[in-house]
Amino acid sequence: MDLMGMMGKLKETQNKIEETKKRLNTVLVDEQSTDGLFKVTLTANRKLTSVTIADELLEDKEQLEDYIIMVLNKAIEKATKVNEAELDSVAKMDMPMIPGMDDLFK
């Protein structure tokens, strides 16, 4: 592949990655505490869109803080996995084979 062809392919891949990032704003990831008293929803781009707190948690500040940390961390981890899987698949599928570049995707 010539240099101009490679540059065009890289630009095309970059555009597809940007489109995927926009689409990931519409992919929702839900997470909740095991007892269902605290729930959050994030986009796959890790933007918080919704928080639901059961009334009984409002009476125990320390427990609520623990729930926020635990559930948000789990949701962020889940959203990150979705995000990375989607972006990796676009990049791997469309990237031209350039010697040495294969190591970037390991």
Q: Where are the alpha helices (DSSP H) in 37-104?
A: 61-94
CATH of the domain at 58: 3.30.1310.10
**Cα(24)–Cα(87) distance, rounded to whole angstroms?**
9
**Is 87 exposed, middle or buried, given 0-12, 13-18 or 19+ CB atoms closer than 10 A?**
middle
Number of domains in the chain: 1
Domain holding 39, by residue range, is: 24-97
Q: Is the residue at 8 inside a domain? A: no
Q: Is the residue at 2 inside a domain? A: no
Per-10-residue mean pLDDT, the chain, length 106: 73 85 92 97 95 96 96 96 88 60 50
Q: Is the residue at 16 inside a domain? A: no
Q: Is the residue at 39 inside a domain? A: yes
Closest CA to 10 of 106, 23, 2: 2
Q: Is the pTM of this model over 0.85?
A: no
Strand partners, 69: none
Question: What is the predicted pLDDT for the residue at 106?
Answer: 46
Which residue bears the tokens 């676009």? Answer: 90
